[in-house]
């Protein structure tokens, strides 16, 4: 069994996936993990949309000019949204859930990548969030944080090298 430390060390963003569906059991396990994410005051203001429709994935891949093209070829993606009405820290709540999804995927030997939607533009006049919201019929009350792509890895990424970590970022007692 992989330790949590090994899991963190080995998790890298994966943007190329095998052309192979992810088993429903694995998807369910990832989604249950997301639902166990910690959230401020237990508000649980997040919502998760699982997308495996090829046409939708293709359209989602154009949510930004750069950085989202590979969504078109992912077998699966989870769109993470949250309600600013339910939580004043929806962004944090949703980010934690997105990372839990990524770690759960790694635990199941699946690759994943965070694709930023919030605070990004689709066109000069439409945000990436507005584009994804209308594409997936997401209620206006929700903000779209990101798209987490998922699938069997089709690229080799090296684990983190402990020798090269930014130890200069660590402080003790005072900065
Ligand atoms: C908040 C956030 C936004 C990100 N947005 C994107 C994105 O839009 N497209 C992308 O390909 N990767 C995106 N990433 C993945 C990062 O590029 C990646 O995590 C970083 O380069 C470190 O690499 P690693 O995940 O392999 O450790 C994002 C990651 C985070 C945490």
Q: What is the pLDDT along the chain (175 residues), one digit of tens a residue?
A: 789 999 999 999 999 999 999 999 999 999 999 999 999 999 999 999 999 999 999 999 999 999 999 999 999 999 999 999 999 999 999 999 999 999 999 999 999 999 999 999 999 999 999 999 999 999 999 999 999 999 999 999 999 999 999 999 999 999 9
- In this structure, the residue with its CA closest to atom 15 of ligand 1 is 114
C-alpha 173 – ligand 1 centre gap (Å): 30
Are 16 and 167 spatial neighbours (Cβ–Cβ below 8 Å)? no
- Residue with CA at minimum distance from ligand 1 atom 20: 13
| Best mutation site among 66, 114, 115 for ligand 1 pocket (most ligand atoms within 8 Å of CB) | 114
CATH number of 15-155: 3.40.109.10
In whole angstroms, give the CA distance from residue 11 to residue 94: 19
Q: Which residues line ligand 1 (CB under 6 A)?
A: 12-13, 15, 67-68, 113-116, 157
DSSP sequence for 147-170: EEEEEEB-S--PPP-GGGS-GGG-
- The answer to whether 93 and 39 have CB atoms below 8 angstroms apart is yes
Q: Find, among 28, 16, 136, 40, the residue nearest to 80 by Cα.
A: 136
Of all atoms in ligand 1, which is nearest to the CA of residue 14? Answer: 26
Residue with tokens 């997401």: 138
- Ligand 1 mean position to 3 CA, how many Å? 23
CA nearest ligand 1 atom 28, residue: 114
For ligand 1, atom 21, which residue shows the shortest CA distance?
13
**Of all atoms in ligand 1, which is nearest to the CA of residue 99?**
31
């Amino acid at each position: 069994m992989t330790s949590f430390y090994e899991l963190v060390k080995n998790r890298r963003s994966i943007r190329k996936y095998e052309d192979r569906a992810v088993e429903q059991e694995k998807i369910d396990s990832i989604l249950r993990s997301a639902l166990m994410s910690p959230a401020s005051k237990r508000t649980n203001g997040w919502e998760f949309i699982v997308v495996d429709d090829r046409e939708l994935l293709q359209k989602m891949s154009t949510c930004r000019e750069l950085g989202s093209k590979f969504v078109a070829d992912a077998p699966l993606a989870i769109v993470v949204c949250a309600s600013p009405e339910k939580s004043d820290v929806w962004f944090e709540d949703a980010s934690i859930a997105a990372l839990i999804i990524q770690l759960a995927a790694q635990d199941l030997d699946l690759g994943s990548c965070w694709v930023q939607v919030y605070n990004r533009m689709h066109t000069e006049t439409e945000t990436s969030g507005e584009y994804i919201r209308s594409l997936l019929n997401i209620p206006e009350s929700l903000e779209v944080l990101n798209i987490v792509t998922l699938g069997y890895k089709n690229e080799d990424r090296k684990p983190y090298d402990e020798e090269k970590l930014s130890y200069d970022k660590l402080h003790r007692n005072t900065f």
